[in-house]
Amino acid sequence: MAGIRAIEGVDNTLANIATAAMLPLNPRPAITVGPLDRVDDTLRLNWFLYSVGPNPAFRNMEPPQTGTRTARGAPPLALELDYVLTAHPGTLTAAGEEAQFAHRGLVAVMQALHDLAIIVEGSPVLAPEAGPLVEPLRITHAPLDLDGLSKLWTSVSQPLRTTVGYRVSLAIVDSTNGFVPGPPVRERRFAVVPSMGVRFGAISPARARASVPLDVELTGPAGHLTFTLRREPSDPAGPEEWPLTATRAGANRFSVQIAPATLAPGTRQLTVTGLVEGLPAVSDRTALTLVPAVTGPAGPVAAGANLSFATEHAAPDVEVFVDGVAVPADDVNFVSATQVDIVVPATTSIGPRSLMLRAAHTAGPVFDGVVVT
């Protein structure tokens, strides 16, 4: 969870979305994050945070990622942020027009916010200060009535500008209160609790892929166990439950290998089953998200040239981002779940560049092994 830079991270995320939306425009409005009473003749769009309130769902809850199982201290501060996006026209043109370019930029940003209403961990527009996220960052269009707008602009003694309201949730700020342990045990007492069988505990990483084994913690008796991953319709032909290789890493910990790399991305069911005399006796299930990822190559490539790279869990609707900028769909060729070809944009800057995939509405990790010459 983020610390005191959580709100700054949301500011920067909104600025990143707006800046990317401005790239095709000419003239191109500037993007600022600041007060409403700034006076200038710059063609720009401005984000202004006018209200910070509690998030009702997460207020005073235990730390969402761990609950009461670890000594993480007091519940975090859970916030909802209310912004206005304002359009500031530039200087008067020869034809007496000044607002249309600001309006065009405003619509471009609104369209981008509509398409990116839910931002997940690993998204190219997510500012580092905003993460790690407890849940996806949700951006909601929250219109202001005329009375509210009038009060807002009257308070800064400025002429009314075109204004659009947005609410962003969830911003999490960790508590600085440390964990206070209880008194030592003075009398040992035991209670016999009926076993519910094996159960899933912590799983890391939460967003899985074939090249990174899962670290799985279990609770309950951990005798002879099997792990399986449920088959989805978009997977290659295979069994209804994909058997997974598991290696014991401790009394109740296992290293589980996801396979094959051709499995489709998205959320699916992970199952652990306890066997007694070779027959299934107890089991537990949990959700697991497979993400598309780049696994190679590492080497130079020229801007405008063809680039073929190895992947895992890619899908026909795959999107490719170079340094956070989407490669045009016509320049992306899905070969298979383990290979994607692109034409490197001619405008790509020389030097080390990052690649990222998104498929089935699921974004993958950043790959930094490409150098553009």
Mean pLDDT of 26-39: 89
Residue 253 has pLDDT above 60, yes or no: yes
Helix (H), strand (E), coil (C) string for the chain: CCCCCHHHHHHHHHHHHHHHHHCCCCCCCEEEECCCCCCCCCCEEEEEEEEEEECCCCCCCCCCCCCCCCCCCCCCEEEEEEEEEEEECCCCCCCCCCCHHHHHHHHHHHHHHHHCCEECCCCCCCCHHHCCCCCCEEEEECCCCHHHHHHHHHHCCCCCCEEEEEEEEEEEECCCCCCCCCCCCCCCCCCCCCCCCCEEEEEECCEEECCECEEEEEECCCCCEEEEEECCCCCCCCCCEEEEEEEECCCCEEEEECCCCCCCCEEEEEEEEEEECCEEEEEEEEEEEECCEECCCCEEECCCCEEEEEEECCCCCCEEEECCEECCHHHEEEEECCEEEEECCCCCCCEEEEEEEEECCEECCCEEEEEEC
Write down the pLDDT at residue 96.
63
Q: Give the other-Cβ count within 10 Å of 295's Cβ.
A: 16
Residue 254 has pLDDT above 90, yes or no: yes
Output the six-digit token pair for 56.
């009702």
Output the six-digit token pair for 239.
């069994």
Cβ neighbours of residue 349 closer than 8 Å, sequence gap 6 or more: 323, 372
The CATH classification of domain 199-290, taken from the options 2.60.40.10, 2.160.20.10, 3.30.930.10, 1.10.645.10: 2.60.40.10
Distance CA 28, CA 18 (A): 11
* Phi, psi (rounded to 5 degrees) for 339: -155, 130
**Adjacency order of strands within the sheet including 332-336:** 293-294, 306-312, 339-343, 332-336
pLDDT band at 180 (very low <50, low <70, confident <90, very high): low
Write down the pLDDT at residue 1.
55
Write down the pLDDT at residue 245.
94
Write down the pLDDT at residue 282.
81
By percentage, how much of the chain surpasses pLDDT 90?
56
Mean pLDDT of 327-352: 94
Write down the pLDDT at residue 192.
46
Q: Tell which phi-psi region holds residue 60, choosing left (phi > 0), alpha (psi between -120 and 50) or beta.
A: left
Write down the pLDDT at residue 21.
95
Residue 18 has pLDDT above 90, yes or no: yes
The reply to whether 199-290 and 293-372 are identical in fold is: yes
Per-residue pLDDT reduced to its tens digit, 43-58:
999 999 999 999 988 8
Mean pLDDT of 31-42: 87
Write down the pLDDT at residue 144.
87
Per-residue pLDDT reduced to its tens digit, 90-125:
777 666 667 888 999 999 999 999 999 999 999 999
Residue 352 has pLDDT above 70, yes or no: yes
Per-residue pLDDT reduced to its tens digit, 291-312:
999 998 767 899 999 999 999 9
The amino acid occupying position 123 is: S
CA neighbours closer than 13 Å in the CB half-sphere of residue 177: 10
Output the six-digit token pair for 361.
């509405």
CA angle 236, 115, 125 (to 5 degrees): 90
Mean pLDDT of the chain: 87
In words, the CATH class of domain 6-173 is: alpha beta
Whether the CB-CB separation of 63 and 76 falls below 8 Å is answered with yes
Q: Which of 358, 359, 360, 356 is nearest to 369 (CA)?
A: 356
Domain spans, the chain: 6-173, 199-290, 293-372
CATH architecture of 293-372: Sandwich (2.60)
By percentage, how much of the chain surpasses pLDDT 70?
89
Write down the pLDDT at residue 62.
65
C-alpha dist (Å) from residue 327 to 118, 331, 347: 21, 7, 11
